Amino acid sequence: MKRVLAIGGRGRIGAKIARDLRERCQQLGLEVEIEATGRSSLDLSDTDALSCAIAKVDLVIHTAGPFASRDDRVLRACIANRAHYLDVSDSRHFTEAMLVHRDSAREAGIVAIVNTGVFPGLSNSLVKACVEHLRSLVESETGDKLGELDEIDEIALSYAVGGSGGAGITVMRTTFLALQRPFSAMLGGQWQTVAPYSDREVVDFPGFGAIGTYWFDVPETLTLARHFKARTVTTKFGSAPDFYNLLTAAVARFCPAPLLQNPAAIEFLSRVSYAMTQVTDRWSGVGVAMRARTVAGDRAVESTLCHNDTARAAGIGGGSVAAAILAEDIATPGLWTVEEIVPTALFDRVAREDGFTWTPPHEKLNDER
């Protein structure tokens, strides 16, 4: 019997991951017992209760966001109790706090994976698949390997979500929290400051059509640049219908910084936005689409991934990785990002078999870029 603690497992994303994990374990012939907790059943500020709960399980799935306001206490408790760990963090600040525990996780003999889900998560694997295809193209043409991937000139990730994405209000809070401060991005081989929700770029997404996308601070901005040593990494996000993007961009540009950093203001904006999406979801849908593009010299590779339910896609992204840990298909101890440890073969299977519309990595001509 494999025992799993799903912290935040009573929320929409946590419940989707738990459901997906149960189904996968059944297919694999693994017995699993999942305890889903909420705020009323497990107080994360009570370190003794947290440690006691984690001591009884094999794997902890942390879905209790927004992660911008969380710290590393759950991971530290997992390391102390030798329990495997994964989260669905979408905060760069949180991710950086996790990455300092690489050695501790390895020494404890646990597998800890951060930023699973849809984006980040499946988005990281989408980029990895593109990079690997780009490598194969160059190697087949020249016979030379891309040493340490130093020749990756650009990684461009774009995302679009329909309305609320089928998730709860926490996603809205995350969006407005991301508007609070400028952030750094790798551009031309240097870390440069970027304004959130700026530099509109219209992208034609499968299932959505033309959607405006904007700079958005996500963990991929950091981790993809580090792992693939790309000279430029762009991460841009947009919503459908497109007028939400214009409203969000106006808030980012004109709202005074002290107001955006006020918790009461964030809560007000989140609740108003969530109420609006409950109306528009009926015709915009709640799907997600992603486009990844990698460039090395004059070669470019692109891939797209879509699903008609963003929350369900996040459940698949987290559940598939959790099942791989329990089945010991992912077993190397340490603290990892998705692109470092999740095999492309697993992503390939998920993209083909779990309700996604996937355009596998393919070369783009110069005039198509």
What pLDDT sits at residue 335? 98
Please report which confidence band the pLDDT of residue 321 belongs to, taking 50, 70 and 90 as the band edges. Answer: very high
CATH superfamily of 2-118+313-346: NAD(P)-binding Rossmann-like Domain (3.40.50.720)
The token pair at 32 is 């699993």
What pLDDT sits at residue 368? 52
Q: Report phi then psi at 154, rounded to 5.
A: -150, 140
**What single-letter DSSP state applies at residue 143?**
S
* Parallel, antiparallel or unpaired: strands 154-162 and 288-296: antiparallel
> Residue 157, class by beta-carbon neighbours within 10 Å (0-12 exposed, 13-18 middle, 19+ buried)?
buried
This prediction has a pTM of 0.93
Helices (H), 229-262: 243-254, 257-260
Answer yes or no: are the C-beta atoms of 8 and 112 closer than 8 Å.
Answer: no
Distance between the two ends of the chain, CA-based, in angstroms?
A: 50
Instruction: Spell out the domain ranges in the chain.
Output: 2-118+313-346, 119-310+356-368
- The contacts of residue 122 (CB under 8 Å, 6+ apart) are 290, 305, 313, 316, 317, 347, 350, 351
Distances (CA, A) of 193 to 97, 215, 323: 20, 11, 38
Using DSSP's 3-state secondary structure scheme, residue 163 falls into: coil
Q: Is the pLDDT of residue 69 over 60?
A: yes
CATH 3.50.50.60 for domain 119-310+356-368, yes or no, is: no
Please report which confidence band the pLDDT of residue 172 belongs to, taking 50, 70 and 90 as the band edges. Answer: confident
Q: Residues 344-354: what's their mean pLDDT? A: 96
Distances (CA, A) of 197 to 182, 264, 276: 10, 21, 20
Count how many Cα atoms sit within 13 Å of the Cα of residue 2 in the half-sphere of its side chain.
23
What is the Rg, in whole angstroms, of the alpha carbon atoms belonging to the chain?
20
Neighbours of 196 (CB within 10 A): 21
**Which helix (H) or strand (E) element contains residue 362?**
strand 357-364
Interval 144-166: pLDDT, tens = 665 444 568 999 999 999 987 87
Please report which confidence band the pLDDT of residue 238 belongs to, taking 50, 70 and 90 as the band edges. Answer: very high
Interval 79-104: pLDDT, tens = 999 999 999 999 999 999 999 999 99
Using DSSP's 3-state secondary structure scheme, residue 102 falls into: helix
Give residue 53's identity as a one-letter amino acid code: A
Cross-strand partners of 114: 337
